[in-house]
Amino acid sequence: MPDTNPSELHDTITVDVETAYLPNQSSPEDRRFVFAYTITIRNVGEIPTQLLTRSWLITDADGKVQEVHGDGVVGEQPHIPPGSHHSYSSGAVLETPVGTMEGTYGMLTNEGTHFDASIPLFRLSVPGVLH
C-alpha cells in the first residue's frame, strides 16, 4: 500500500460525545462535581486504525487545568475498521459545576502511519447552571 501522509488522516476519525452530571456521586458543598461521558469514535476513512493513546485537557470554571495522558481508553487499545466505531464511557471530577474537556487520540493505521485524531471541545455542566 502507498504511504499515507498523517495530515491527510486527521479527518478520517470523528468523535461524538454525550455527557451527564452524576448528582449521587457529587458533593457540591465539598466542591466535587462528578460527570460521566460516553464517547463514540468513528472511522470514516478507508484504512483500519488502532487507538493507542489519549491526551486530555480538562479545564474547570476557575481556569484550573488537568492534563491526562495515557495508553488507550478504559484499558483498551481498540482496532477500528473502516465504517465502524468504538464507544466507551468514562468520567471526570471537577471542583466547579461547569468545565470543558478536549484532546487528542494517538492513532496508528495498519499501514504503520501515526496520526492524532482531534477530540473537539465539549462542556461538562450541572443542569440549570448555564442558560
CB-side exposure of 105: number of CA atoms within 13 Å? 31
User: Average of pLDDT values for 2-30?
Assistant: 86
pLDDT at 131: 54
Give the whole-number percent of the chain exceeding pLDDT 90.
Answer: 88
Torsion sign, CA atoms 9, 91, 66, 52 = negative
Taking 70 as the threshold, does the pLDDT of residue 70 lie above it? yes
User: Average of pLDDT values for 39-61?
Assistant: 97
Integer-rounded Cα Rg, in Å, for the chain is: 16
State how far the Cα of 121 lies from the Cα of 70, in Å rounded to an integer: 19
Domains assigned to the chain: 6-125 (2.60.40.1470)
Total-model pTM: 0.89
